[in-house]
């Protein structure tokens, strides 16, 4: 959501390079790891949707529906509808089972009122608003030399950065819950659990890259503002 940056920002744009490299690496890593482990079936043979249901049951969460969704790698938990959507619900692959367990982790966070998730959900509208308005305000302010707009633009962008940062504990915690639940329910063996961890680590890396990108973009805006 932050990619539409014009190139007239001069050398400040170089600030973004490390985050860009990390983002590209994370994308590659998540795709390659997922595709490798979507070829490997679990010995237990429980499907992704069954896995999610078993984990939710085990956690005493009974009001969450598990559905399929068509888009690939678009697995998610929708807290408003209390629906867990899996892109590959029937799959018995290590990758699909791992992702299903992670999404169940989000549903459990929701049921338990896990603070970072509550905060994240609360700032979604602000962050969306901020990320849409920030750059137009910033650049209009720069062009017309109206510092107030530049400052408001930077503040709005900070909200979007905050969102990407709050997302990190939410994602790491969902993966932690997934691993604990998979291990204790014996849905996967230790070797498969290692593969699940690899898949979830790669996915977490994309969130780290997004947060780094957002934070460095904020730095870039501050640096452009200061150079003027
Ligand atoms: Zn997640």
Q: What is the pLDDT of residues 74-109, one digit of tens each?
A: 899 999 899 999 999 999 999 999 999 999 999 999
Residue 153, pLDDT > 50, answer yes
Neighbours of 141 (CB within 10 A): 19
Residue corresponding to tokens 């790491």: 172
Give the mean pLDDT of the chain.
Answer: 92
pLDDT band for position 224 (cuts 50, 70, 90): confident
Contact status, residue 85 vs residue 75, Cβ threshold 8 Å: yes
Distance CA 88, CA 169 (A): 25
Half-sphere exposure of 75 (CA within 13 A, CB side): 26
Measured in Å, residue 132 CA sits from the centre of ligand 1 at 23
Proportion of the chain in helix, strand, coil states, percent, rounded to 5: 75, 5, 20
Distance CA 83, CA 66 (A): 6
pTM of full prediction above 0.85: yes
Measured in Å, residue 208 CA sits from the centre of ligand 1 at 12
- Is 103 catalytic? The answer is yes
Distance CA 103, CA 99 (A): 6
Ion ligand 1: residues, CB < 5 A: 171, 174
Residue 204, pLDDT > 90, answer yes
Residue 1, pLDDT > 60, answer no
Measured in Å, residue 192 CA sits from the centre of ligand 1 at 20
Percent of all residues in the chain with a pLDDT value above 70, rounded to a whole number: 96
Residue 203, pLDDT > 70, answer yes
Residue 220, pLDDT > 60, answer yes
Dihedral sign (CA 223, 136, 169, 188): negative
Measured in Å, residue 174 CA sits from the centre of ligand 1 at 6
Residue 10, pLDDT > 80, answer no
Residue 212, pLDDT > 90, answer yes
Which one of 103, 171, 192, 198 is the catalytic residue? 103
* Mean pLDDT score, 52-67: 96
pLDDT band for position 9 (cuts 50, 70, 90): low
For residue 227, what pLDDT is reported? 78
Measured in Å, residue 157 CA sits from the centre of ligand 1 at 23
């Amino acid at each position: 959501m932050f990619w539409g940056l014009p190139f007239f920002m001069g050398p400040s744009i170089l600030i973004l390079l490390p985050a860009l490299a990390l983002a590209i690496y994370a994308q590659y890593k998540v795709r390659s790891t997922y595709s490798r482990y979507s070829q490997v079936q679990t010995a237990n043979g429980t499907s992704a949707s069954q896995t999610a249901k078993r984990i939710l049951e085990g956690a005493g969460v009974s009001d969450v529906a598990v559905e399929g969704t068509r888009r690939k790698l678009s697995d998610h938990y929708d807290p408003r509808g209390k629906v867990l959507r899996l892109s590959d619900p029937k799959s018995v692959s290590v990758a699909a089972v791992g992702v299903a367990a992670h999404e169940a982790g989000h549903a459990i966070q929701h049921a338990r009122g896990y603070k970072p998730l509550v905060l994240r959900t609360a700032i979604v509208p602000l962050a969306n608003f901020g990320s849409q308005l920030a750059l137009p305000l910033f650049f209009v302010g720069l062009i017309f030399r109206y510092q107030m707009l530049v400052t408001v633009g930077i503040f709005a962008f900070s909200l979007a950065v905050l969102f990407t940062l709050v997302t990190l504990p939410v994602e790491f915690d969902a993966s932690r819950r997934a691993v604990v639940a998979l291990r204790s329910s014996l849905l996967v063996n230790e070797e498969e659990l290692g593969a699940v961890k690899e898949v979830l680590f790669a996915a977490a890396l994309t969130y780290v890259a997004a947060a780094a990108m957002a934070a460095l973009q904020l730095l870039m805006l501050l640096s452009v503002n200061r150079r003027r």
